[in-house]
Amino acid sequence: MQLQDVKPRPGAKKRRKRIGCGESSGHGKTSGKGNKGQKARAGAGIRPGFEGGQMPLFRRLPKKGFSNVQFRDVYEVVNVGCLNDAFEDGAVINEASLRESGLVNRNCDAIKILGTGDLTRKLTIEIKNVSASAREKIEKAGGSVAA
């Protein structure tokens, strides 16, 4: 096979539809929109779920049950590998220091330390939520979890 023999796959290159360029373009007069009506107008389109004025399905069906989503706690997760990169040996880690370092920057209800990654520094953790594997790695490295 030579470089000049290379061609795109059939159907990979498709010409764009030249709308409103006269009858000879094949898309003249109504530009493929048919005759009149809501979908033929400029800026046309109906929103998803609209059923032409009929009561939409999502409003016809009964609402049932309860969702706890709006009341759940939002956790921000930090791994011990990230702590190893962001802090020096002997550092005290709390919410303020995590926000200052940029590891936590969103609004959250609580922060949780997880055990992904390696930890070689001796750190003092002052955060309440620490996983068992993270606690083990922190204590193995000579640090402590004060909570």
Whole-number percent of the chain with pLDDT over 90: 71
pLDDT value of residue 109:
94
Q: Is residue 103 part of a domain?
A: yes
pTM to 2 decimals? 0.57
pLDDT, one tens digit per residue, over 19-70 is 889 998 889 889 889 999 888 898 888 899 999 999 999 999 998 899 898 8
What is the predicted pLDDT for the residue at 3?
94
92 belongs to a structural domain: yes
Residues spanned by the domain of 123: 73-145
Q: In this structure, what CATH number is given to the domain that contains residue 94?
A: 3.100.10.10
129 part of a folded domain: yes
Position 21 in a domain: no
Within-domain flag for 15: no
Residue 8 is assigned to a structural domain of this protein = no
- Domain count of the fold of the chain: 1
Specify the pLDDT at position 38.
87
* Three-state DSSP string of the chain: CCHHHCCCCCCCCCCCCCCCCCHHHCCCCCCCCCCCCHHHCCCCCCCCCCECCECCHHHHCCCCCCCCHHHCCCEEEEEHHHHHHHCCCCCEECHHHHHHHCCCCCCCCEEEEECCCCCCCCCEECCCEECHHHHHHHHHCCCEECC
**pLDDT tens digits along 57-66:** 999 999 889 9
- Residue 27 is assigned to a structural domain of this protein: no
Residue 18 located in a structural domain: no
**Mean pLDDT taken over the chain:** 92
* pLDDT score, position 147: 65
